[in-house]
Amino acid sequence: MHELPRWRHLVFHWNLTSFLISKRSPKSQDPYVCSLLCSCNLWNISQQLPLLDCRFLEGYREQRLAHLVLGAITMGYVWQEGETQPRGVLPRTLAIPFVEVSRALGLPPILVHSDLVLTNWTKRNPKGNLETIISLPGGKSLRGFVLVTVLVEKAAAPGVKALVQGVEAIVQSSQDALLQALQQLRLSIQDITRTLGQMHDYVDPDIFYAAIRIFLSGWKDNPAMPTGLIYEGVSTEPLWYSGGSAAQSSVLHAFDEFLGIRHCKESADFLHRMRDYMPPSHKAFIEDIRSAPALRGRVLACGPGPCLTAYNQCLQALAELRRYHITVVARYLVTAAARARSRSQGDLLRPPKALEDRGTGGTPVLSFLKSVREATLDAIICPRA
């Protein structure tokens, strides 16, 4: 049978609503991990765990839930006593099932964006109020951080759909359909920016900086764990993995590929590495968008007109989203770090220092984020060019 071109799979396999796990997760809202962490009891408990067998997990959704739970326990185990005493060895009762379920899912054995956000939500009541499934220290701010990011992923759903419609429109040479797809993409990007603003309503910058961030940190590019982490019973050599970051969300990767944005080598290398922290089907979606007939070439070929204007408006909206994200990062990291430095030694909210000028993904934050925004602006096509 004639094989379909790669982009065709987009239309058949990605009749999607968003990257979020779509149906309601099991009723397992569980403050247990959080309370173990807060009571600093996780080291003892983890030693006593029975060896869990992942073969008992039924299907993909249970595997994703297991990855979330084991990921959260692992972060707690490593960082429970703060950055000065991270654990260098993950006990086999955690390491073996975590690596097993990670292999089954094609994910690395560390808490990733698809765990903390995409899997970690449920509806508290029939009205649809959201709740997290697994909690980490940080109380209401942790909850707000996760759930606002869930809402951002939801706001991105029409944009992701628009990519599929845009590719179809290019293939069918339908200018009207392409224009519609671009307009829908711009509206979705603007909605993401508005939704991101809710971070300020629900997340306290000092709590984020001092209490939450460390539990998202990894053991790669992190001076607090230069020797990585040994997964006992799996490997005698240490392994290195980056911490959880929304840079692992597939949304902006897919938008960038569709719009033909080219990042500088250093930023592109980091972003490409983050794709290995996404569920393989999400990574494949981004690759499918990349290999689809190119939007940018089509817009350039059409010349000045409504499609070019709509294309540029998408880029402007995306650059604005990235500008706004930088202001969020400045408030939650840069300003919070300065405040933390000026606090007295005895203060309970004494934050970790190792990642002071780095993101949880390990980047030198501001220069990276600015370069990514610049590349977005550089892609704007001057109508007379």
The residues of the shown chain that bind ligand HEM, judged by CB under 6 A, are 149, 152, 196, 199, 203, 208, 245-247, 249, 252, 322, 325, 328-329, 332-333, 359-363, 365, 368-369, 372
Residue 144: which residues within 8 A CB-CB, separation 6 or more?
Answer: 198, 199, 201, 202, 203
Q: Residue 68 or 101: which CB sits closer to ligand HEM?
A: 68
The residue of the chain with the least Cβ separation from ligand HEM equals 359
- In the complex, least distance from residue 91 CB atom to ligand HEM, rounded to whole angstroms: 27
d(C-alpha 371, C-alpha 268), whole Å: 10
Residue number with CB closer to ligand HEM (18 or 80): 18
Nearest approach, Cβ of 66 to ligand HEM (angstroms)? 24
* Residue 61 Cα distances to 39, 54, 57, 68, 228, angstroms: 30, 13, 9, 11, 29
Q: How far from 53 is each of 2, 57, 66, 93, 380, CA to CA, in Å?
A: 42, 8, 11, 10, 52
CB of 166 to ligand HEM, least distance (A): 19
Work out how close the CB of 27 gets to ligand HEM at its nearest, in angstroms, rounded to a whole number: 26
Cβ closest to ligand HEM, residue 78 vs residue 147: 147
Cα–Cα distance between 15 and 39 in angstroms, integer? 45
* Angstrom distance (rounded) from CA 311 to CA 368: 24
Instruction: Between 46 and 217, name the residue whose CB sits nearer to ligand HEM.
Output: 217
| Interior/surface letters 253-287, b for 16+ CB within 10 angstroms, e for the rest | bbbbbbbbbebeeebbebbeebbebbbeebbbbbb
The least CB distance from residue 165 to ligand HEM, in Å, is 22
Nearer to ligand HEM, 298 or 373 (CB): 373
325 labelled ligand-binding: yes
Binding residues for heme b: 325
Q: Which residues are annotated as a binding site?
A: 325
